[in-house]
Amino acid sequence: MRLVIFIVVFLFCIVQRANAFRYALLAGQNDGGKGLTRLKYAHKDVERFSELLVEIGGFDKSNVITISGADSSDLEAGFDKIKKLIQRDNNLQNSLFLFYYSGHADEKSLLLGKTTLSLEKIENRLQTVSSAIKIGIFDACQSGVVTAFKGGGRAEPFYFKEQQKVKGKAIIASSSANERAQESEALKGSVFSFHWMNGLRGSADLSYDRKVTLNEAYQYAYRKTVETSALTSGMVQHPVYRFNIKGQGDIILTNLQDKSGGILLDSFSNGKFLILSENYMDVYADFYKAKGKAHFISLPSGTYTLINAKGKDIGTCVFSVEKNRTCNFFESMLIPNTRIESTIKGKIAENKAESEIQALPLSRFRLGFGCGVHAVINQAKNDHSKDLSIEVAGSYHISEKIDFFSDLYCLFFEKRSGIDFGFDYIRKIEDHRLRIGLGTGVEYLFGKGLTGDALEPFFLLKPGFEFKLNERIKAGLGLPYKIIFGPSVSHRAGLELQIMLSGKYSDVKVIK
């Protein structure tokens, strides 16, 4: 028994010591100084990268230094601290130091709020770190300048052949010397960093050996960054690198062989794969898999949606990952997305078959406010024939032709408040919409106290027209008509203006 305990403690110490040989300094700065647009996700990039290095990168948490909102003195202090940590290491020949920066830069310096730090000084700082392997990753505009020092330039990725000790330095930049690095609201991060980190989770594992090397990570991030930037902005962003490595071994960035938290795709599955969060908002993996070998993707515990595309065939699968448990995926788990073929009368033969696909926006809620003027058409006792209203309005997208709506409003002169709800039938005209709403509701008269007489139900007919102001804001004109069942039946007609705000992804569709 004592021998077993000794072996367990010994192996634990070895693992802990192996982690101690890896060090990281991660810095992010959203503010690039006067005249530059403030970034949104540089700090988030640092947070995500730090969590990933500790989770699957073999880095001890105490050896990962993060600086959000860094200025030049913060960065200099960070280098001093990491240098002291590495100097205490008794195994420098196997140690690795990784420096990562997400933020603004120009052709000479990192732009850190009101301060700057020259790329040449960063290069010198990296050079003086005593670890055997030094990796610098710069995700910033024109950061490719740093790869040009000492004659480096753009080239094709190199390959290591054997598993042997290596040492040297690798510099990777998210964009070339004359390009702008890009952020993405859809990805919630900078484009290069997003793909680099997803690659480390397993998407970049081209050899299917559950190890992601420096070469594999760079190749994957390069390809996906070019693809994403070309498709979204039209301004292609090319990552660049300079490797100065001695030895003949792979630099393994993440070793997933001993990781169990994630999903294992069986050897028979193939095609294009996306792994998204359950609500489709976050992308955790994006890769192509061939038949013949299993593929593992490391994931935090949670529920995910997997999408598999093979030509025109698309299948989806919802799965859950428990902490330190592997979910096994088989093709039989996929639910196919059915394409319904319909014949359109009067079209020529080669065009008579078309596909009907129901598409729903990812953001289906809308919220807004409105105001209006109303007139009582007939009422036995009517002190005010006209009235003004303000309202809070909301809607939920059910299908391309049906919305659910609900409004909370107040009438000034009659001292009434009311709530209504119902359904809108939608007819699209390009970017605009005609709608006819049917609903019901109840109004409360403040002057009558909390009695039955104070509540008056009504029936609502609400035709209207809606037009787009921008991708997220829409304005609508409505002509509400109400039949109110109070002490006597009365009728009210009006004219309303509503401004509605939708979520960020109302124009991104989920195919059902």
Mean pLDDT computed over 289-304? 93
- pLDDT tens-place string over residues 442-462: 998 887 766 667 888 999 999
CB 249 within 8 A of CB 163: yes
> What integer pLDDT is reported at residue 232 of this predicted model?
65
CA dist list (Å): 445 to 301, 376, 451: 52, 15, 10
Q: Which two three-digit tokens encode residue 214?
A: 């420096």
CB 198 within 8 A of CB 139: no
Q: For residue 510, is pLDDT > 70? A: no
Mean pLDDT computed over 413-440? 88
Mean pLDDT computed over 221-236? 78
> What integer pLDDT is reported at residue 21 of this predicted model?
84
Q: Tell me the CB-side half-sphere exposure of residue 108, using CA atoms within 13 A.
A: 2
Higher per-residue confidence, 344 vs 332: 332
**Which DSSP category does 430 fall into?**
T
Binned at pLDDT 50, 70 and 90, residue 247 comes out as low
β pairing state of 22-29 and 96-105: parallel
Angle at 422 between CA 419 and CA 427, to 5 degrees: 135
**Percent of the chain scored above 70 by pLDDT?**
79
What DSSP letter does each residue of 210-245 carry, written as one string?
Answer: SEEEHHHHHHHHHHHHHHHHHHHTS-----EEEEEE
- How far is Cα 349 from Cα 359, in angstroms, rounded to an integer? 27
- How far is Cα 268 from Cα 278, in angstroms, rounded to an integer? 25
What DSSP letter does each residue of 150-186 carry, written as one string?
Answer: GG----PPP---S---EEEEEEEESS-TT----EETT
- How far is Cα 260 from Cα 46, in angstroms, rounded to an integer? 25
Binned at pLDDT 50, 70 and 90, residue 116 comes out as very high
Which helix (H) or strand (E) is 356 found in, with range? strand 353-356
Under 8 Å CB-to-CB from 331, ≥6 apart: which residues?
Answer: 266, 268, 269, 308, 315
Q: Tell me the CB-side half-sphere exposure of residue 325, using CA atoms within 13 A.
A: 11
Under 8 Å CB-to-CB from 81, ≥6 apart: which residues?
Answer: 65
Higher per-residue confidence, 235 vs 114: 114
Q: Which domains does the chain have, with CATH numbers?
A: 19-255 (3.40.50.1460), 262-336 (2.60.40.1120), 365-509 (2.40.160.20)
CB 125 within 8 A of CB 79: yes
- pLDDT tens-place string over residues 134-151: 999 998 875 544 443 333
Q: For residue 310, is pLDDT > 60? A: yes
> What integer pLDDT is reported at residue 240 of this predicted model?
78
> What integer pLDDT is reported at residue 230 of this predicted model?
77
Among 87-91, 226-230, 490-494, the least confident range: 87-91
Q: For residue 329, is pLDDT > 80? A: yes
- pLDDT tens-place string over residues 59-106: 999 999 999 988 999 999 999 999 988 888 777 777 899 999 998 888
Amino acid at 248: Q
In this structure, what are the phi and psi dihedrals at residue 458, rounded to the nearest 5 degrees?
A: -150, 160
Q: Is 425 left (phi over 0), alpha (psi -120 to 50) or beta?
A: beta
CA dist list (Å): 112 to 42, 75, 97, 508: 12, 9, 22, 35
Of 434, 439, 402, 442, give the one whose Cα is nearest residue 422: 439
> What integer pLDDT is reported at residue 407 of this predicted model?
94
Which helix (H) or strand (E) is 57 found in, with range? none
> What integer pLDDT is reported at residue 507 of this predicted model?
54
- How far is Cα 59 from Cα 15, in angstroms, rounded to an integer? 11
CA dist list (Å): 151 to 147, 242, 243: 8, 9, 11
Between the ranges 142-151, 160-169, 330-339, 411-420, where is the mean pLDDT highest? 411-420
**Which DSSP category does 39 fall into?**
P
Burial 122-150 (b: 16+ CB within 10 A, else e): bbebbeebebbbbbbbbbbbbbbbbbbee
Binned at pLDDT 50, 70 and 90, residue 377 comes out as confident
- pLDDT tens-place string over residues 13-53: 444 344 448 999 999 999 988 888 888 888 999 999 999 99
Of 385, 386, 388, give the one whose Cα is nearest residue 371: 388
- How far is Cα 105 from Cα 176, in angstroms, rounded to an integer? 12
> What integer pLDDT is reported at residue 452 of this predicted model?
61
Mean pLDDT computed over 464-485? 88
- pLDDT tens-place string over residues 151-189: 333 333 322 223 335 677 888 888 765 556 677 777 777
Mean pLDDT computed over 421-425? 94
Computed over every residue of the chain, the mean pLDDT equals 80
Under 8 Å CB-to-CB from 308, ≥6 apart: which residues?
Answer: 269, 271, 272, 273, 314, 315, 316, 317, 331, 334
> What integer pLDDT is reported at residue 154 of this predicted model?
37
Our CA dihedral for 399, 402, 408, 412, rounded to 10 degrees, sits at 140
Higher per-residue confidence, 98 vs 355: 98
Q: For residue 235, is pLDDT > 60? A: yes
> What integer pLDDT is reported at residue 512 of this predicted model?
47
Q: Tell me the CB-side half-sphere exposure of residue 455, using CA atoms within 13 A.
A: 7
